[in-house]
Structure 1
Amino acid sequence: MSDSIAPQSNVQLPDTLKRSITVFRRRLWTLKLWEASALAVAGVLFGFFFVFIVDRFVDTPAWIRLLILIGSLAVLLVVPWAIYHWIVRRRTLHQVAELLTTTRPAIGDRLMGVIELADNVDEQGRSPRLVRAAIDQVSDDVDHADLRHAIPHPMHGQRSLTAAIMLIGLGCLTGISAAATGNAWSRYLTPWSDVSRFTFTQMEPLPDQMIVAHGEAFDFDVALAGSTESRPEIATARLADGQQTASIDDEGYHFHLPGRYQEGALELSAGDYRGATQLVPVTRPELADIEATIHLPAYLQRVEPIIQTLRGGSLSVVRGSQVELQVNTSRDLRSADINGSPADVSGHAFEVPPQSVQSPSRLTLSWRDVHNLQPAQPFELQLTDVNDAAPTVTADGLPRHQVLLDSETIAYTAYGRDDFGIRRIGLLWHHVDDEGNLIDGGEKVIAAGRPDADLLEATGTFTAKDLERRFDRVAVQLYVEDFLPNRERVLGPISVFDVLTADEHAIWIANQLARWQRQSLDVRDRELKLYQKNSELRRLSKEQLNAPETRRQLQAQARAERANGHRLNRLVGEGESLLAQAMRNPEIGVGHMESWAEMMQVLKDISGNRMPSVADLLRKAGESESLSRSDAARKRLTAGKNRVNQSGKSESDQEDEGDPPAKAPGVTDVESTQLDLSEQKQPKSGPKKASSGRLSLPTTRLAGNAVSDQEPPESEPQENEIDEAVTEQDDLLAEFEKVVGELDKLMANMEGSTLVKRLKAASRKQDAVADQLTSVSQSTFGRDASEAAEAGATLSELSEKLTGYRTDVSYIMDDMDAYYERSRYVQFKTVLDEMRSEDVTGALGQLSNDVVDQSGISIAMAEYWSDTLDRWAEDLVEPSISGSCPGGKSQKSLPPSIVLEVLQILEAEVKLRESTREAQQARPDLDADDYHQRATNLAVEQADLRNRTDLVSQRINELPDAGEHFVKELKKLTSVSIVMTEAVGILATPETGSEAIAAETEVIELLLETKRMCQGGGGGGGGANPGGGGGGDTDVAALALVGAGLNANEVREASRTETNTGNSGTPLPEEFRSGLDQYFHQIQQWNASP
């Protein structure tokens, strides 16, 4: 509808009325738009003030700020609503009149009516005058009415005031802190942005996560930012288990907070500032280890550095060394410093620059990990320079004082020790004058060392032939040199030898024999007195014998008898030692030695059998009323050591066969075995032909698995043949009695002459170690510390012994390898390959290290290697295929003097091999001329032994029927002579290496063949082949029984090994062995602690 009346209308609204309504409408529009605008301004400012005020206390969350912004935007919608509601919908007179009907009904209704009349033509047609009069009347009333108060609900004043107050407040805030106001507007208008809350108190930013030392109190410092507008006097730090306050101090706050064990939040408040960080407890970076690379001084000639891991605070090195350190920590590092200087860091480690150690110094090491943690205290490492210690040298086999034939060779082992390598080991000899002064004589190098040879073990020999001229008394001593320049050589103990010619030695032996005889007569006189006293007691009556006094006398007589037996036994040992020296002198008559041997043998039988028996009878007599006698059976005479304790038929079986002929003494060394011979198949045996055996060249026999395929002869011996055998054997025994004692002693020294015997000896040594370890474990378990300390000393001695045993096995392998290169015997190669695959030397070396700390396991390992070495010795010998040691026709026997000469050649060959090894050891330290001279001397000695061997062959050929009876012996000696000739050529090259050692080893093997003896039936085959034959009567001289061997009373049993490692002694459960190891290990740690 328009503001004018329709054209067809005759009556129009007055201009004054129209003007009044227009003024009212304009005022309505203005006020209502004003109200809406004021409300919008107030709403926006309200949101701002809300955010501003809340931010003063807390950090208003973004979602709340977003809701406030949405609310403010909603308030702004009141403006378009006001425009639409008050302007768009209040444009016409009719719309304004309609509004007035609500606010001023009296005027509004009348105004509505006249507006409708003016628009209604029909009504005007009835009475125009009345219509105009009504319109005029209303117009006049409107003109006189105050329509300013007709506006509905005017709130423009309140809203304007509110908006004005807020604007004033905004202005004030802006004046006070424009930054705070701007920050509030930013956070209010852009709640999604990362705008930090403005605080009047501003701190330096806190990290999201703070790493602290685990369980340790820590300092927490926070500083006020430079832009802070407030500096509160107090700040508060809150933890899960409490809070702590701190006063402002130098533009910040310092807190000392308790240690944390778990992660947790740390909240900080100061004034309107609120901050938080996450505390993460982490252990400090600890030192893992320090790897020291030590470059020794140049004079030590060590190319490779020494790598040493340190876990302590000190390192001692030889003066002049260069030390490089790599420090490894438990965590990746950020930085490190050495004595305050920064160091290069790589991961969890850093390196210390090379340090030249000339004097004591100290390094202070510190580091900081990726969490900015550092050790509680810097690590201090003390570097100490030490002097290059002087070497030491000891010897095994060099006596302090001994009589030496001018043709005799002394073999010994030298041990040199040094901290940083040995240059050489040698031997000095001096002439000793009548006043005891030492006059320089000469020297020779025994072995050349190496820069890395901390322990050098070398075999050496000494003979009067080494001297440029003969001296009556010679003092020898070992010397050792290390690599330190200008250091004097270190000397070992002095050994004095009285060098005698054969004649002088014979005189000395005669004097010693006289002294020995006087001592034996003294023992005899003591025994006669005891015999007389025993005879007196024997004649006492029964009542007197039962008297307490008589019984005490019997007990005293028993003790005296036993003591005299010990005295005589010791005397016999001295006699055997003297006899061994006498046997080396060709000038001493066999008849003289025979007389002495007869006396010694009788005394040996008395001290070993009869005197202990008498002592036992006297002891029993003191306890009972009756006495008994026991007759000792006579044994078959055998030179050599029988370690098997297994013979043919028993004595009871042989008693029924009649009196056999006298048995020829056997020159046989019967080796022990750990095989269970009782489980081996025994050959069928029938009646054996009685035989006296034969005396031949020496052999080594092994108990084995030979089975006879021959049926024993069943014919009975003829009378005339037995008479002839007894007559001939009487002559043989008369000669053998003169030398059988030396034969026995020489056979006892053959342990190292053949590879089989050397392996057997190594096996027995390991078995002895196992027994000793078992004894130590049983005697010290659960005992006090003093006894445990004694056990520790014993174990240390065992460890040193095992080191020497490892060297012995190494020499065996070297000799076996060289011997195989010459002989090409398959069994030697097989055993050698197995020894290498088992790494026996490395295992024995490890055993020497483990024996102290792990005695339980060491027992098992020693038993295992004892069994293994014994098995390898068995494998070297092929089973015999000669049958069951047939008896039958008695063969001719070699004269004992010939056999003795062969054994002396064998002993000399063994010493020659040791001298060859010594020359090879010293070769790197010798010039060409000296080495050539040594090799030439060895070649001369080898040629001399070959000539002696040829002479033995010539003597055998001169025997009656030698071509019939001694074919094997002659063939063997011919082979020996051929190999000796080869050895002479090798040594003269000159060459003392493996080729020469191999040739000498082959000579030794040929001189002493190893065969497997037959098991089972006895009777047949006596003499040198002890396959059977029990006891029997013999009338050989006492010399045949001299020197029963080092272990004549040894009893070897079948191994009870149940597993690869075996058992020894009383079996211990595995769990007990483990406990024993831990027990001794803890004892050692306890003893080592201060």
Structure 2
Amino acid sequence: MNNSRKNSGDLLPKSLRKQLDLLRNKLRWTEGSKGILAAIGLLLVSWLVVLGSDRFWDTPQPLLILASVTGWASALWILRLGYRLAIEQPRHDENLAKITQGRFPSLGDRLLGVIELCDPRKKTSEHSAALREAAVSQVANETAGKNLNLAVDLKLFKRVAFGFAGLATMAMLCATIMPKAAFNAWERWSNPFNPAQRYTFAEITSFPAEKIVALGEPYQILCTLDPDSFWLPQEAILTAEDGTEHVATLNGHSYLFELEGVREDASYAFSVGDADAKIQVTPLARPSLNETLAHVEYPAYLGYPANNLEITSRTITAPVGSLLTIHGFANRPLQQAMTVGGGPQQSPSVKANVDGNQFHLQLGLVEKHQVHRLVWQDSLGLSCNGFFQFEVVAKADEPPSIEFPEITAENYVQETGTFDLTAKADDDFGIKNLTFSWTLRNAGTEELETVAREWNNDSRTMVSFQGTHSFSPSLLNAPNGSTIVIRAHTSDWRENAEPVYSREILVLVESVEANADRMRKEIEDLLGKLSEITNAEEDILMKTLQMQALDSEKASEKSAQRKMENAASEQEDLAKQLEQMSKEGVEILREAMKNPLFDEQTLKEWNQTMQAMKELSEGKMQEASQQLSQSASSPSESQRSESLSEAENSEREIIEELQDLQGEINEQLDELEAMTLAQRLRKIKRTEDSLSKSLMENLSETIGLRTADLSKKQKLLNDNLFDRQTETHDNAKELQSEISRYHERTQKPQYGEVSEQMDKTKAADGLLNVAELINRNVSLNATTKLGYWAVKFEEWAKLLEPQDDGGGGGGEGGGGEGEDITEQLIALLKIRKGEADLRRHTILLDKEKKDVGKELKEKSDELDSQQRKLMMDLTDVQIDLAKEELNPLFDDAHTAMADAADRLKKQDSGQTTVASETKAFDLLSDIVNLIVESQCQACKKPGASSQSQAAAAAMQFLLQQYGQGEGQGEGEGMGMSSMGGGSRQGGDTDSNPATQRTNDGGDSSDPRSRFRKANGWSGGLPSEFREALENYFREIEK
């Protein structure tokens, strides 16, 4: 076609060809501009549609795609059309002629005809050249005067241009007024397949699409707008699924919705200005802690392993200097956890390390009291339901405490006995050691504190540490009248900690004579209390008689009833007082049974008195109290009178029995005083012998020296001897007065004789003169006079000793049904007690061999002598009992004692010796049990006498009271507990060392161990057989 235009153009005159070219250019510019403007206009329209749509809603993506694709497709179509009109059509001269026809119809037709004549492809071109030239020349001349550019129609172009200008102006205005919206619409329109977020005039900067809220609790939804937002509406609306609207007003640049709690998922539509959003609300329970642990790393000096403590009481107690970490375990993953302050008492905030559903809170060193409030938030944004407050108590490691529980400050021990003492140390975190120490006072030696026993604890977690030790005056060389001062000290694990000392316990070493005299005084105190109870009982009887004398009208008054009730209460109180007196009397009896000066008959009588006292408090006194109570509550006069009458009879019987008890105790006191007077004389004799011995032992070092020239050691001894002799003078003076008064009261001639001799010889003054000689260190003269007075006091003691009536087994015989063998039972109990004490001494001697040193043989010989004396006492009891069925047990006990005595003779205080002593103790216990069981069976037989029943009851009472504590605990041991607990305590001074029981391999079915039936031998053993029986036992020993 280009060739055609070119060929025809060659035939056209230049002027015509020029005009056609101008028309062609004009057409191309006009149509091209129109197409471009139209295409751009369509794009602007598409963009403006998106911009306008976004102002009302968030245009859905399909509509965005439709608008964008439609705009681009329209623009491309217009551009294609413009290309055809501006480029393709103007290439052909025929199309230009046709366009000319629109403006110049005739000229256009001729121009079209000329162009076709000049086109060699047309048949018209076959016309003659002349004709063609003429036609071309004519048309050329005609068009010369015409402006063919006017043939181009500019109306549509102008409309398009004006439309484009309007759209462009609108676009410019939008871009100028709302540039963000215009640019956002351009982004969304230009990329509808991944459109940018819609821009709104009200720009939401914070509004969650999903919110987790606490289950059932009110919650808030906050929407925040950009402060530079184009539009800040005064209200925002939140619409629930059911159409309920919630309105919030603008506050600054945010809206806050206060909503009620929900228990199910909820959805809300939010709108503010031209902006909207949706939110999904999911209710969940608040996060909670399943477990909270306190990990405590203790100070190094304590040696404690690290410990995890569950925080249950919300209080953590840790030693000062501990490292504390809190471990928490929540029910779902956490976002954060921390402590927050809540006032002046709270500690600074600390943030925890979070790992999933766990957190670890490092609180550091514990130095002072802390209060923490722990809060946490889960990964969903829910916080805890209130804070978890806990306290950290910084516990300072205070010094330990040490005490002697249940022991008085001043105590007594007989010179041959032992004293068991238990100390208990307590500390907050751990006891390191416990030590017993003792000091001997009033012994004439330098007072040096000596360690008796020490326990070292390897475990650092023992917070309670208990130790028991037995002190033996004989092993400590503590003479009569001296005082053993005992104290304990303990330390904990603090660095460079000073030991903490207990209070001092004073143990006064007393002779058997002094012990007997003290028992006598305690019995006198009981007698005084019994007199008071008797007087009070008489007062109750008087009140009862007064109430009986009331007439029925006055007796029914409330005041009278109150008097009867008060009388009943007083009667019950008296019963309690008498029962307490019975217990005190039993304690005196138990103490007296340790003293060899008290014979079995005296102990038996005292046991019967205490038994009667106890029975009276539990029997008739209780009945009288009940009868008085019944009289107070009786509805009728006859019942009241009957109850009062019964109460009167009971009270009279009580008074009679109390008076009988007073008489019995008075008689016992007289006998006891007579016995103690003789023994106290003999104690003075022993004191004089002891002083004489001490002076002779030190004579080589002190002879010829003045008192001022004595060494410190000798001066201490001399002062002690002087003090003891002075005290002996005071005792002798008091004793002489008591013997004189006793003679005046009893008119017994021997007491008058002794009183006269003491007065005639001026015994008290003579003893005082000896004290002066000792003080001046005139030892030889003092020794001579001490020997003289020792002989005199021994003579006087023999004069006052009760005369033995002789006979060893008269009466009803050993096996009679009505026999009372309480005395023999008491003797066996005393032997058993002696065996327990001997065993305790043996254990102590074995443990203190190094300290005893050269005195080991002497101490061991003393124990040997004690063992052999117990053997002889056992022989006497066996002869008195004369129960053939018990002889095998007596033989075995005697053999065990003999074995122990032989070993002690060889200074063997080891386990074998202790085992023999333990076997003897066990056999003695078997004998006691068999005797009591035999007596109980005898009293249960038909026709048993009341005497037999009374004897059995007395035995049972004796065993119930005296047997308490016998054989319980070693008397020397140690107990510990960790984190607050105690341990086994040692027994009292009657306790039986819990040593290993022996097993000699014998047949456990030995019938000797199952003897239960008394075989009544009806006669006492003649005294002439004693020696033969003793020889028999000696043969057993061999």
TM-score norm. by structure 2 comes to 0.51
Letter in 2 for 1:191: P
1:345 aligns with 2:346: no
Alpha-carbon offset, residue 447 of structure 1: 4.5
Q: Secondary structure at the match of 2:294?
A: strand
Aligned twin of 2:781: none
Aligned to 1:421: 430
- Counterpart-to-counterpart distance in 1, 2:378 and 2:854: 68
* 2:407 alignment counterpart: 398
Structure 1 residues 222 and 573: alpha-carbon distance in aligned structure 2, compared to 1, 3 A threshold? same
Instruction: Determine if contact 1:59/1:197 at 8 Å carries over to the other structure.
Output: yes
Counterparts of 2:427 and 2:58, CA distance in 1: 77
For the residues of structure 2 that align with 1:938 and 1:108, how far apart are their CA atoms?
A: 166
The answer on whether the counterparts of 2:893 and 2:920 sit within 8 Å (CA) in structure 1 is no
Rate the CA distance shift 1:309–1:524 in 2: closer, same or farther, 3 A: closer
1:578 aligns with 2:588: yes
Residue of structure 1 in register with 2:741 after alignment? none
- SS of the residue corresponding to residue 482 of structure 1 reads strand
SS state of the match for residue 490, structure 2?
Answer: strand
**Which residues of 2 match residues 89-168 of structure 1 at below 5 A?**
155=156, 157-167=158-168
**Is it true that 1:190 corresponds to 2:195 in the alignment?**
no
Give the match for residue 452 of structure 1.
461
Relative to 1, partners in 2 of residues 1:289 and 1:939: Cα closer, same or farther, differing over 3 Å?
Answer: farther
Correspondence for 1:293: 296
Query: Do the aligned partners of residues 1045 and 52 (structure 1) sit closer, same or farther apart at CA in structure 2, a change above 3 Å counting?
Result: same
Q: Distance in 1 between matches of 2:615 and 2:553?
A: 33
Q: Distance in 2 between matches of 1:84 and 1:1008?
A: 140
Superposition deviation, residue 66 in structure 1: 0.6
Q: Which has the larger radius of gyration?
A: 2
In structure 2, distance between residues paired with 1:55 and 1:473: 114
Q: 1:738 aligns with which of 820, 823, 827?
A: 823
Q: State yes or no: 1:332 paired with 2:334.
A: yes
Identify the match of residue 238 of structure 1 among 212, 236, 253.
236
Change (3 A) 1:422 1:401: same
For residues 855-866 of structure 1, what are the structure 2 equivalents within 5 Å? none
Amino acid at match of 2:189: Y
Partners of 2:581 and 2:237 in 1: how far apart? 92
How far residue 504 of structure 1 moved from its aligned partner, in angstroms, is: 2.4
Structure 1 residues 1026-1051: Cα deviation after superposition (integer angstroms, max 9, x where no partner):
896367215469887557549979xx
Which of 598, 610, 613 is residue 588 of structure 1 equivalent to? 598
Q: Per the alignment, in what secondary structure is the counterpart of residue 451 of structure 1? A: coil
Contact 1:576 1:1042 in 2 (8 A): no
Q: Please report how far the alpha carbon of residue 454 of structure 1 lies from its aligned counterpart in structure 2 after TM superposition.
A: 1.8
- Match of 1:195, SS state, is coil
* Cα distance, 1:192 vs structure 2: 0.6
CA distance in structure 1 between the partners assigned to 2:576 and 2:389 by the alignment? 65
Please say if 1:389 is aligned against 2:373.
Answer: no
**Aligned match for 2:888, one of 962, 967, 973:** 967
How big is the alpha-carbon RMSD for the aligned residues of Structure 1 and Structure 2?
7.5
How many Å separate the matches in 2 of 1:441 and 1:1041? Answer: 49
Residues 515 and 1012 of structure 1: is their aligned pair in 2 closer, same or farther, counting only changes over 3 Å?
closer
CA distance in 2, matches of 1:502, 1:1021: 33
Equivalent position of 1:635 in the other structure:
none
Query: 2:42 aligns to what?
Result: 43
Conserved 8 A contact 1:66-1:191: yes
TM-score (norm 1): 0.49
Q: Secondary structure at the match of 2:47?
A: helix
| Per-residue Cα deviation, 1:47-80 (whole angstroms, up to 9, x for no partner) | 1222244456655432221111232244344666
What is the alpha-carbon distance in structure 2 between the residues aligned to residue 26 and residue 454 of structure 1?
A: 116
Q: Distance in 1 between matches of 2:305 and 2:165?
A: 92
Cα distance per residue 1:839-860 (max 9 Å; x no partner): xxxxxxxxxxxxxxxxxxxxxx
Q: Is the 8 A contact 1:950 1:977 kept in 2?
A: yes
Change over 3 Å in CA distance of 1:59–1:561 after alignment to 2: closer
Higher relative contact order (CA 8 A, sep 6+): 1
Question: In the alignment, what sits opposite 2:941?
Answer: 1029
Q: Distance in 1 between matches of 2:309 and 2:219?
A: 34
Secondary structure of 2:460's counterpart equals coil
Query: Which digits, 9 at most, give the CA deviation of each residue in 1:112-156, with x for residues without a partner?
Result: 9xxxxxxxxxxxxxxxxxxxxxx9xxx9xx999999999999955
- Pairs within 5 Å for 1:916-955: none
How many residues were matched structurally?
741
Q: Percent identity, please.
A: 15
Please list every run of 5 or more consecutive structure 2 residues that lacks an aligned counterpart in the other structure.
5-18, 113-134, 239-245, 341-346, 632-638, 651-808, 962-1038
Q: Is the 8 A contact 1:425 1:478 kept in 2?
A: no
Do the aligned residues in 2 keep the contact of 1:913 with 1:1001 (CA within 8 Å)? Answer: no
Over 3 Å counting, the alpha-carbon distance change for 1:1033 and 1:246 in structure 2 is closer
Matched, 1:623 2:657: no
Per-residue deviation at 1:600?
4.8
Q: Select the residue among 480, 491, 503 that pairs with 1:482.
A: 491
> In 2, are the aligned partners of 1:949 and 1:977 still within 8 Å (CA)?
no
Letter in 2 for 1:737: T
> What does residue range 843-992 of structure 1 map to in structure 2 within 5 Å?
897=827, 899-905=828-834, 907-908=836-837, 966-971=887-892, 974=895
Matching residue of 1:302: 303
Where is the helix percentage greater, Structure 1 or Structure 2? 2
Instruction: Report the Cα distance in structure 2 between the residues aligned to 1:183 and 1:563, rounded to whole angstroms.
Output: 104
Deviation (angstroms), 1:496: 4.2
Secondary structure of the residue aligned to 2:941 is coil
Please show how residues 48-63 of structure 1 align to structure 2 within 5 Å: 48-55=47-54, 59-63=58-62
Q: Which amino acid aligns with 2:399?
A: A
User: What SS does the corresponding residue of 1:419 show, helix, strand or coil?
Assistant: coil
Name the CA distance, whole Å, in 1 between partners of 2:283 and 2:854.
78
Amino acid at match of 1:332: L
Tell me the distance in 1 between the aligned counterparts of 2:353 and 2:521. 82
- Shift in alpha-carbon separation, 1:975–1:588, aligned structure 2, 3 A: closer
Runs of 5+ consecutive residues of structure 1 not aligned to the other structure: 5-19, 113-134, 225-229, 248-252, 631-723, 743-896, 920-925, 1014-1019, 1050-1090
**2: CA distance, partners of 1:460 / 1:419:** 24
- Distance in 2, Cα, partners of 1:399 & 1:350: 53
- Check the 8 A contact 2:37/2:160 in 1, yes or no: yes
How far is 1:577 from its partner?
2.5
- Looking at structure 2, the residues matched to 21 and 1006 of structure 1 have their Cα atoms a distance apart, in angstroms, of 158
Q: Are residue 66 (structure 1) and residue 89 (structure 2) matched?
A: no
> Relative to 1, partners in 2 of residues 1:962 and 1:333: Cα closer, same or farther, differing over 3 Å?
same
Cα distance in 2 for partners of 1:47, 1:936 equals: 129
Distance 1:1023 1:175, change over 3 A: closer
Aligned pair in 2 of structure 1 residues 468, 366: CA closer, same or farther (>3 Å)?
farther
CA distance in 1, matches of 2:914, 2:271: 88
Structure 2 counterpart of 1:472, one-letter code: G
Contact preservation (8 Å) 1:186, 1:195: yes
The worse-fitting range, judged by mean Cα deviation, of 404-413 and 73-82 is: 73-82
Q: Distance in 1 between matches of 2:899 and 2:830?
A: 18
| Aligned position for 1:502 | 512
Q: Is the 8 A contact 1:391 1:418 kept in 2?
A: yes
How far is 1:588 from its partner? 1.9
- Write the letter of the residue equivalent to 1:587: L
Distance 1:952 1:170, change over 3 A: same
Residues 209, 581 of structure 1: alpha-carbon distance in 2 compared, 3 angstrom cutoff: same
Inter-partner Cα distance in structure 2 for 1:1041 and 1:617: 27
CA distance in 2, matches of 1:86, 1:937: 150
- Output aligned runs, 1:217-232, within 5 Å: 232=230
**How has the CA–CA distance of structure 1 residues 510 and 282 changed in structure 2, closer, same or farther, with 3 Å as cutoff?**
closer
Query: What is the identity, as a one-letter code, of the residue corresponding to 2:250?
Result: T
Aligned counterparts of 1:503 and 1:526: Cα–Cα separation in 2:
35
